[in-house]
């Protein structure tokens, strides 16, 4: 059943407008049924990212931009954590056999979920799984884009440190730094960030 629904999601891209519209209506109704879309999302991500020839990244993005709108806010935290752990698959020969850019598909999915104070720590704790991919600027930017809305609104001091450091330190280092308050204070001092700038951020 999951496979059939994943194939149905491809119809968001159908060149026949009536079919694309029916697909939107179908998934809109499905989204009203509790946790159905949330339960389907991991399988959808897996199936639709499997082969980059059959599902190029631009088309993948269109489908998931539609699907994410149907998710309830309470599901976002758990889903972004699951996506972060999917990066293990992008490290394997089996996982990338038909899609060398698999990690880009996953990072795009992360970028669709603006982080909150809870999901921020879930993403941080999953760092060992995806850290090796952050050297790719596109993946780095996807993770950073999910952080930026939180940076603007939160009072969480750990997230504020990200705001201060992200132009000077790799995201990998930022997540490690915020695990240790003494460490991030030392790094801030070493980077010679002006006291007035710190006061504006906090």
Looking at the structure, do residues 197 and 174 belong to the same domain, yes or no? yes
Residues 131, 93 contacting (CB under 8 angstroms): no
Of the three residues 121, 137, 154, the one that is the final residue of a domain is 154
Residues 43 and 70 occupy one common structural domain: yes
Give the C-alpha distances (Å, rounded to integers) separating 95 from 38, 107, 111, 168.
23, 15, 21, 33
| Lowest-confidence segment of 41-50, 104-113, 185-194 by average pLDDT | 185-194
Give residue 195's pLDDT.
39
Total domain count, the chain: 2
pLDDT band at 160 (very low <50, low <70, confident <90, very high): low
Same domain, 28 and 92: yes
Query: CA-CA distance, 104 to 55, in Å (whole number)?
Result: 13
Q: Determine the 3-state secondary structure of 28 from DSSP.
A: helix
Residues 122 and 189 in one domain: no
Using alpha carbons only, give the angle 191, 193, 198 rounded to the nearest 5 degrees.
140
Same domain, yes or no: 184 and 132: no
Note whether 112 and 16 are same-domain residues.
yes
Q: Which domain holds residue 193?
A: 156-201
Residues 114 and 179 in one domain: no
Same domain, 147 and 116: yes
Question: Does 95 score more than 50 pLDDT?
Answer: yes
The answer on 108 and 42 residing in a single domain is yes
Please check whether residues 149 and 169 belong to one and the same domain: no
pTM: 0.79
Query: Do 93 and 13 share a domain, yes or no?
Result: yes
For residue 63, give the nearest of 105, 96, 115, 3 by alpha carbon.
105
Kindly state whether residues 57 and 18 are assigned to the same domain.
yes
């Amino acid at each position: 059943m999951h496979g059939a629904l994943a194939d149905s999601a491809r119809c968001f891209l159908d060149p026949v407008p009536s079919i694309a519209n029916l697909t939107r209506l179908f998934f809109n109704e499905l989204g009203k049924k509790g946790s159905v879309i949330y339960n389907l999302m991991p399988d959808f991500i897996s199936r639709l990212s499997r082969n980059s020839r059959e599902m190029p990244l631009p088309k993948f993005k269109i489908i998931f931009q539609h699907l994410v709108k149907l998710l309830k806010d309470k599901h976002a935290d758990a889903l972004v954590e699951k996506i972060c752990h999917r990066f293990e698959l992008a490290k394997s020969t089996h996982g990338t056999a038909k899609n060398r850019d698999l990690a880009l598909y996953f990072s795009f999915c992360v970028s669709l979920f603006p982080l909150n104070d809870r999901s921020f720590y879930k993403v941080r704790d999953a760092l060992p799984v995806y850290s090796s991919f952050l050297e790719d600027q596109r993946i780095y930017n996807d993770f950073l884009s999910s952080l930026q809305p939180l940076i603007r609104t939160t009072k969480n001091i750990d997230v504020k440190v990200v705001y201060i450091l992200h132009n000077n330190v790799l995201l990998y280092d930022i997540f490690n730094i915020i695990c240790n308050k003494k460490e991030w204070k030392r790094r801030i001092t070493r980077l010679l960030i002006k006291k007035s700038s710190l006061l504006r951020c906090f």
